[in-house]
Structure 1
Amino acid sequence: MEKAKELLEKGVKPSLWYALERDPKLASELISKMFEEVLSVIVKVDQELSSRINELTERVNEVNAQLSSKIAELTENVNNLSK
């Protein structure tokens, strides 16, 4: 994220300001390209987060299954002791 901010400050902003003053068509192209790049980053991060959520959900389900099994075992033991 910091790298992106630095790139904006040092490279894109000066080019964009120049383009806005001298060449509106170029400015439009720069803005369009920036927007495409931002969307690309958003899609990539969304996919990574979705993948991570799926991994964590799978792990939570595994732990839940283990805990349920242990609870069932303990419940059976308690029931056997109370007989």
Structure 2
Amino acid sequence: MSNPVQPKALTEIEAARYIGMSRSFLAQARMEGKRENRTPAPPFIKIGRSVRYLRSDLDQWLDNFMKLDHLGQAC
């Protein structure tokens, strides 16, 4: 029995599923860049006309968010 290949670069749909966000979030965040009071887009790469997300970049992007014990910490 062989192990399935884990791709290093994910499509937009795969990346959205991996981080638990919508595909439209990724598209909009890419277009807007960094804006005040907005969640920044994870890093992405372009291969020709295709957008790809590196699994390691997505892991690091998720790790950069503050972990909360309760909502009062977010203020």
- The higher radius of gyration belongs to 1
Whether the TM-score (by the shorter chain) exceeds 0.5 is: no
Q: Going by fraction, where is helix more abundant, 1 or 2? A: 1
Q: Going by fraction, where is strand more abundant, 1 or 2? A: 2
Q: TM-score, normalised by structure 2?
A: 0.28
User: 1 or 2 for the larger relative contact order (CA 8 Å, sep ≥6)?
Assistant: 2
Q: TM-score, normalised by structure 1?
A: 0.26
